[in-house]
Structure 1
Amino acid sequence: MNPVRRLLLSLIAGGLLCLAFPTFDVWVAAPLALAVWAWAWTGAGGRRGFVSGLLGGLAFFVPTLSWSGIYVGSLPWLALATLQALFLGLAGALYGWLSRRGSVRPMAFALVWVVAEGFRARAPYGGFPWLKLAFGQADSPFGRLVALGGAPFVGSVVALSGALLALAAQHALSAVAERRGSVATSDRRWHLPSRRFALPAVSALVLGTVGLAVPLPTDGPSAQFLGVQGNVARPGLDFNAERRQVLDNHVAATLKAQEDVDAGRAPAPDLVVWPENASDIDPLRNADAKSLILETVDALKRPLIVGGLLEEPVGFVSNVALLFEPGKGNTDRYVKRHPVPFAEYIPNRSFWRTFSKEVDLVRRDFVQGPGPGVFRVTTASGQQVRAGLAICFEVAYDDIMRDAVQAGANVLVVQTNNATFGYTAESPQQLAISRLRAMEFGRSVVHVSTVGQSALITPDGTAHQVTSLFTQAVVRGALPLRDATTLATRVGEAPEWAAAAALLTMLALGLRGGRGERAGGPGVPDTTKDEDDDDAA
């Protein structure tokens, strides 16, 4: 393939993949994009595969992560997008080398994709798993497969189906070329390539629909939840410049919702949830803030989860979820386990300060929480709600969400603050992740934001009462409490490690085969040509 055409196809694939994620939500664009990538990277070799993957990654990550620079400028946005694109460059290099003979290798492509996504989710500084392939599949048959093996399994199946489509296209074009190049083509010679085309095409179709057979049960005892979206004075980095107003907004919205309960227009909630940063005034140290919250809890007569900041430990800040109960005050806390690097803490501060003094805008680092958080409260009917906590970007980390379920959670609570990302796709992208988590773990999700989007999500991934951005609103209703564990919960990270082991084996065999070919043994073709000639294959 002509190198320019290869790069052009990779750019097209990156742009096409954007359509699979909110707010476009064209899920079928994902397997089609990966089909184009598999086609573009096949036979590229390592160097050209890397360049092709990097440029395609930029075409994908630059627009889909544009929200990250909405208020902080283009440098952090482009730096983040470039870092993520480098992992696609790595994927292009690995697959380009594995497919250097020029034939599409669907299983190799799927393994490379899963390993690259797993690496991206872990490095550097704990990784950034946002925009995993699975997170754009909440409405697709592919998405239902998450209950079997988590987000990595969904990504592998989407990648495999895309590569199978590429293989079918390769066989079809080969058949056309053979027909044109033959003066007298027999029926047998023509139909054989047709069958070779049909098998991968049908296989891709089966993979694209098999998820419909995966059950996503929603039965179980229920509890009433109330999520409060109090709103902020204005979007932007200074969303909480008037911290008391943000707290007052959540108090006012909660008491207004309670009026409907007192008047008999709405059922009493068993648990009320405020979002991240609802009280950035330390509610354990500031008497006014604490008094407001306790008065609200007394009016509710039910437990309240408050997202707040604590001025502790000394010299640091803690991003927390606090459980307040009537007559008891604060009874439990969860500290965010994965603070966001370069936003909530500065890793290797002295090193990065040599590049930009802006790192010191983060004056105090956020501390890392010790472990999963599960808040336990008893409903009026005697049911126990065990709410597994995640704060903001933590919803994108497989292990953090799985740990909460394995610690006993029968419902998940995602508290977030999207005010710093304005009217962008960041909030819909995050809500889509929560929807996939509901299917993955068979748990209802209470997803509550300071400014939207908020929603109640049932275990089949359906989002109910989705709110608008930058409005004051509440989401309320009954959600099932489930204790059954999905296969994805039980297997954990095993699919990723199995994929990594299989890829390493494939690479080792490729290296061994390459040495044998260079040795020029009997019956072994000579493939010692320079990588720049790979496109001739």
Structure 2
Amino acid sequence: MPTSRPAVRALALAAAGGLVTNLAFPYHSWWPAAFIGVALLGVGLREVRPGTAALAGLTWGLGFFLPLLSWSLHSVGQWPPWVALSVSQAAFVAAFGLLYAVAAARLPAWRVPVAVVLWVGLEQARMIVPFGGFPWGTLAFSQGDGPLLRLASWGGTVLVSGVVVAGGWTLAELAARPGRRTVLGVVAAAAVVAGAGLVPVETGAESGRLTVAAVQGSVPVRGEEALGQARVITANYRALTESLAAEGEEIDIVLWPESAADIDPRTDDEVAADVTAAQAAVGVPLLLGTQRYTTDTRYNDYIGWRDGRAFASYTKQHPVPFGEYIPHRDFFRRLSSAVDLVGVDMAQGEDPGVMDVPIGRLGRDVVVGVGICFEVAYHELLRESVQLGAEFLVIPTNNASFGFTQEATQQLAISRFRAVEHGRATVQVSTVGVSGFFLPDGTIVARSTDELYTEWVGVEDLPLRTSLSVSDRLGDAPRTIVWAAALLALAAALARRGTPSSRRKGNE
């Protein structure tokens, strides 16, 4: 255990940095905190050895991920899965600390760019591994209320996270050399960040407009127990939709959330009757979430309903590991009995998230892009939908099992980011909240309150778009470039001869 003064200082700054960075995410959503939290880590990692830097990275990661992911404790009801998830994500920050210490010691003049490519490279890797990745806590998702949000259209999470790290690490470097130049540097960095708010983002309709209704029906009980009230929940959605129809407002499409009909209306006559009655009342296509069971597995479907039958469907492609299915169940059962809370594993769908929905007023099918619940965190899924012609995006989600936690608002922030990244109006519709409508520039048109387990119906006129954002045209190129740059930085550092500048006597 490191005990020298630089080591203790590094760990203290790292712990503070992780906690401060969490303030940039919902509930708090104070976006400048991300820069400060990263800067604190940057200051702490100066003049320490790789082992201490790795431990500092782990400390920062735990200070950040433990509070950020505390909703998983409520969902599972046991602390080991929450801690395990947090540690698995913090390990990436530990790897960053280790690699940064090695590279920065040999490339001291390149500390800021080295930090950027290593951080963003590992953050992108965290989106993929293990078990398909877990993008929650990506720095870019903290910038919804700040000027950097507009950069999402130009480079997605790679660009936005990169600017956050560059800004934070620049502050750290300036703090190491206090003086008049430091003040000027901070002002210049702030001006660059503020200037991002002037970056153009197209929002106008390109293929017409659509009046969309989103129904948040809530549940009669809270938590996992709500799943036992499936028929009651669907009947409640029917009642709310019939009330919407009675108001006489002209709409083009109605959206229900994930698991609004937890019993499949395609196989159950009673549920089908409720769904059919609701759709007949509004007289326009109804999209809703349901579960489809086979002999030994299940699927999470989002279906289109009209005239008493399903006319389109999408099956979730990225089920949540340990939430919707258990990988290596026998092994993990030895570690926690919580794995058996998932009784039937969910299988993944194979087809992309697009649905052709006939819109009577427009006289044509509108291509709707769909990402179910946590799929909103995986940019490649929605990017594929947009590249296949999606004109607006729907994020149906069921947040009932997370209680009164920040999970719902964290997810809403990701949906907002995706609206800008893909240049599409986006609707998140939740069972219990939070639901919202976003324009392609991230403007919040309407949203339910932060009070969860409430009923809410929103109706908004949204632009339909067909062009691709720069981010979508680039595809995975930014990720590939940052990975290549990270490897190049490490190779250059290892190839450089001489004693690393940070290995000073007494440092650990």
Please give the range of the TM-score, normalised by the shorter of the 2 chains: over 0.9
Aligned to 2:423: 442
Q: Counterparts in 2 of 1:12-51, with a 5 A limit?
A: 12-51=16-55
1:276 matched to 2:258 = yes
State the secondary structure of the residue aligned to 2:170. helix
Q: Does 1:419 align with 2:400?
A: yes
Superposed CA offset, 1:194-216 (max 9, x none): 55x46753552243123112112
Q: Is 1:342 the equivalent of 2:325? A: no
8 Å Cα contact 1:39/1:104 also seen in 2:
no
Q: Is the 8 A contact 2:105 2:500 kept in 1?
A: no
1:449-460 to structure 2, matched below 5 A, reads 449-460=430-441
CA distance in 2, matches of 1:137, 1:63: 18
Aligned equivalents of 1:130, 1:383: Cα separation in 2: 37
Which of the residues 156, 167, 176 maps onto 2:173?
A: 167
1:132 to partner: Cα distance? 0.6
Structure 1 unaligned residues grouped into runs of 5+:
176-193, 518-525
> Of 88, 94, 97, which aligns to 2:102?
97
Deviation string, structure 1 residues 334-384 (Cα, Å, up to 9, x no partner): 000000111111111122122234323322111101031211223313364
SS at match of 1:152: helix
Other-structure match for 1:230: 217
Question: How much does 1:37 deviate?
Answer: 1.1
2: CA distance between counterparts of 1:279 and 1:252?
13
* SS of residue in 1 equivalent to 2:211: strand
**CA–CA separation in structure 1 for the residues paired with 2:500 and 2:203:** 56
* Counterpart position of 1:501: 484
Please tell me whether the aligned partners of residues 132 and 155 of structure 1 are also in contact (alpha carbons under 8 angstroms). Answer: yes
Are the counterparts in 2 of residues 10 and 56 from structure 1 also a CA contact under 8 Å?
A: yes
CA distance in 1, matches of 2:501, 2:175: 28
SS, match of residue 99 in structure 1: helix
Give the C-alpha shift of residue 104 in structure 1.
Answer: 7.1
Cα drift, residue 106 of structure 1: 0.6
Q: TM-score scaled by structure 1?
A: 0.89
Give the AA of the match of 2:332. Answer: W
How many angstroms apart in 2 are the aligned matches of 1:372 and 1:73?
35
- What secondary structure, in the 3-state scheme, does the structure 2 residue paired with 1:10 have? helix
SS in 2 for 1:403: helix
Amino acid at match of 2:186: A
Aligned residue-pair number: 497
Match for 1:386 among 367, 381, 389? 367
CA contact 1:395–1:414 (8 Å) conserved in 2: yes
Alignment match, 2:448 = 467
What CA distance in whole angstroms lies between the structure 2 residues aligned with 1:528 and 1:224?
62
**Structure 1 residues 211-258: Cα deviation after superposition (integer angstroms, max 9, x where no partner):** 112112221121110111111012212122111111111111111111
Q: 2:92 aligns with which of 87, 95, 117?
A: 87
Q: CA deviation at 1:401?
A: 1.4
Select the structure of larger CA radius of gyration: 1
Q: Does 1:76 align with 2:48?
A: no
The 3-state SS of whatever aligns with 1:242 is helix
Q: Counterparts of 1:4 and 1:339 in 2: how far apart (Å)? A: 41
Q: Is 2:113 aligned against 1:107?
A: yes
Which residue in 2 is equivalent to 1:213?
A: 198
Alignment partners' CA distance in 2, 1:95 and 1:234: 48
What is the CA distance between 1:456 and its match in structure 2? Answer: 1.3
Q: Could you say which residue in structure 1 is the equivalent of 2:356? A: 376
Q: CA RMSD in A?
A: 1.9
1:479 and 2:465 matched: no
1:289 corresponds to which residue?
271
Q: Is the partner of 1:294 in helix, strand or coil?
A: helix
Residue pairs, 1:288-437, within 5 angstroms:
288-312=270-294, 314-326=295-307, 329-379=309-359, 380-382=361-363, 384-437=365-418
Q: Does 1:489 align with 2:472?
A: yes
- Contact 1:322–1:334 (Cα < 8 Å) also in 2: yes
1:4 is matched with which residue: 8, 11, 26? 8
SS in 1 for 2:437: strand
Give, in whole Å, the separation in 1 of the partners of 2:236 and 2:446. Answer: 20
Note if contact 1:410-1:483 (Cα within 8 Å) is conserved in structure 2. Answer: yes
Alpha-carbon distance between aligned partners in 2 of 1:295 and 1:383, rounded to the nearest angstrom: 24
Give, in whole Å, the separation in 1 of the partners of 2:267 and 2:500: 71
